[in-house]
Amino acid sequence: MVVGVSAVFIGVCALVVSLYEAKLMREEQRSAVLPLVELSRSHYVNPNEGDTAKWRLSLQAQNVGIGPARVMDFRVMVDGEAYPTWREAMQALIGPEVDVRYGQSTINGRTIPPERLVTMFDLSNTEHAGAIIREFDRLDYEACFCSVFDECWTTSYSAFGAAQPIADCNRDDGSFME
């Protein structure tokens, strides 16, 4: 009887240890593919303050994590209002009469590999760079991204790289179209 009870006790202990090891392995797998998207801007200003024609402006997204980031939703806002394109956002920022020309790469719906930098917006007609840079505190952009295990986070330019976990990423009428 004692041998039988001992065998059951040892079996239960082995099962508990196995379950704990499996839990640790799942956590390690999730952390091995953890993405982290940082949104940033680069601008180059001519030291001669009046010569804005030589200013440069680009906006980037970079996955600085160790796993792929699936960008499920992206938004661009001016004064808290979402705009579907860069042109509309920039015109809301510096004036509707301004013809803003730019190059762009889509990150909405895209998987960004680790260590990849994507230039989302690159201003072509640089004479508007100074006006945009002066109004930049009114502009914000945010990305909602998920890991391969469907764990999701949201981050924005104004959050300085701090991603907040969320349940999931949903597109709606305020989502970016480009």
Residue 128 has phi, psi (to 5 degrees) of -95, -5
What pLDDT shows up at residue 31?
64
| CA separation for the pair 14, 1 (Å, rounded) | 20
What pLDDT shows up at residue 49?
59
Half-sphere exposure of residue 27, counting CA atoms within 13 Å on the CB side? 6
Please give the class, per CATH, of domain 34-166.
mainly beta
Which helix (H) or strand (E) segment holds residue 7: the answer is helix 2-31
Task: Answer whether residue 51 shows pLDDT above 70.
Answer: no
Half-sphere exposure of residue 72, counting CA atoms within 13 Å on the CB side? 18
The residue-averaged pLDDT of 12-21 equals: 82
What pLDDT shows up at residue 2?
83
**pLDDT tens digit sequence for 59-117:** 999 999 999 999 999 999 999 999 999 999 999 999 999 899 999 999 988 999 999 99
Classify burial at 128, counting beta carbons within 10 Å of its beta carbon; exposed 0-12, middle 13-18, buried 19 or more.
buried
| CA separation for the pair 118, 130 (Å, rounded) | 23
pLDDT band of 168, cuts 50, 70, 90: very high
What pLDDT shows up at residue 26?
72
pTM (two decimals): 0.80
| Max avg pLDDT among 32-41, 60-69, 119-128 | 60-69
What pLDDT shows up at residue 160?
82
DSSP state of 112: E
What pLDDT shows up at residue 124?
87
Higher pLDDT, residue 3 or 167? 167
Domain range list for the chain = 1-32, 34-166
Which stretch of 13-17, 111-115, 143-147, 168-172 has the lowest confidence by average pLDDT? 13-17
